[in-house]
Amino acid sequence: MKTVVRNFICILFLLFSIAVYSQATVADVKIQGNKKTNTNFLKRIIRVKPGSELDSTLIEKDIIRLKRLPAIAHAYFQVFKANNETEYNIYYGIEENFTVIPFANVYTSNNDEFAFRVGLQEFNFLGRNIIIGGFYQYDIFNSYGVNIRAPYLFSNKLGIAINYQDLTTQEPVFLENGTAEYRYNNESIEIMGLYEPNYRNRFELGLSFFTEDYSYLSGVTDPNVPQNLNVDKYLYKFIYDFNGLEYYYHYLSGFRSTLNLQLVRSKDQTLPDFTIGFNDFLFFLRVGKKGNWANRLRLGISSNLDTPFAPFAVDNNLNIRGVGNLIDRGTAAIVLNTEYRHTIIDKDWFVLQSNIFIDGGSWRNPGGDFGDFTDDQNLRVYPGVGIRFIHKRIFNAIFRIDYGHGVTKKASKGIVFGIGQYF
């Protein structure tokens, strides 16, 4: 009997506590720790407002959203009573990133010529998390580009992105009787509308106008493949990003899915109209205090045109570490990257992280069928190891070195350098 009475009293106390808590309201929301990021901007994008009901779920969602901003390395909250028993002040604490980031990549091109890309990006322009930047690239030919991305320009949900680039490279074109080298130029301007209804979902819709210019340089020829081609195109693009990731400095956990759909229209049917779509599925899991298991699965498909200019490339810097620079193309792709990241050193601002990975994938040949995925000529598996040097107070300041060694037919091996995690 005593047990029943005690349980009844506990339930009454719990119900009373819930009733009192449900009446609690937010007296004020204060931001502290931000030096460069605009306080009014931060208050605009968070959901907890003065006068609203005190809701721990909304507070947690605000913290997740703040952590995803390039300007913020870490965020936390504190709750204090205000002047009476039912009003509370919310304090959001901010640890900022340094966001003016120069970058430089040095690498070798397909014919072992010295090449590099240098640039500068500001990830918190005007203190409002506007990204603005540009780059210059020398890879046998000169290239450059500029971009601006303002996801909260018009409101806490609506923004815009504008990109311009004039990119020129030497590209291999794979013909039936061998490989040809072409000078490839792509000059484009893109305008995207950005809409973020909540902290988990983001939509982008835009239009791009571009010109593709192919000029034959050397190698084999084919009477059915032109040696010079200049085509004006335009592209419709739709992106849906579901982001369920949680961030704790360089550690990630959770699931993310990004769908990218494109419809390309051409004024010259030598490079005909086509559609392309791909989805990146990412899954991250914390392993103990210092481990992070990371996975990326990409499924992609395009119009199955029998053309040497197929859209899905097999490349060191895109999908398979160690495979080489642009060694093949296809009209569909399945790629899986899985790696285990382990923190060796974690100091106040510096992290040294090791990495063990397996990259694998297969492609459908231009004009082929889905049976190509099981063809050992298309299948590539590359295990490897790597290391990361991470600055915890500079956004995306991750210098990575990976070594991949192929274990499938006609495999190669190689070292890949880069900025930021591979995925």
Residue ranges of domains in the chain: 2-96, 98-243, 247-254+270-423
Q: Please say whether the dihedral angle defined by the alpha carbons of residues 47, 48, 49 and 53, taken in this order, is positive or negative.
A: positive
Q: Supply the pTM of this predicted model.
A: 0.82
Query: pLDDT tens digits for 195-231?
Result: 999 989 999 999 999 999 999 999 999 888 889 989 9
Give the lowest-confidence range in 15-24, 348-357, 378-387: 15-24
Report the 3 state secondary structure along 253-295.
Answer: EEEEEEEEEEEEEECCCCCCCEEEEEEEEEEEEEECCCEEEEE
Q: In angstroms, rounded to a whole number, what is the distance separating the alpha carbons of residues 203 and 44?
A: 20
pLDDT given at position 113: 62
pLDDT given at position 8: 54
CATH architecture of structural domain 2-96: Roll (3.10)
pLDDT band at 112 (very low <50, low <70, confident <90, very high): low
Query: pLDDT tens digits for 337-362?
Result: 999 999 999 998 999 999 999 999 99
Q: Please say whether the dihedral angle defined by the alpha carbons of residues 148, 151, 154 and 160, taken in this order, is positive or negative.
A: positive
**What class, spelled out in words, does domain 247-254+270-423 have in CATH?**
mainly beta
Are domains 2-96 and 247-254+270-423 of this chain identical in fold? no
The CATH code of the domain at 98-243 is 2.40.160.50
Bin 112: left if φ > 0, else alpha if -120 < ψ < 50, else beta: left
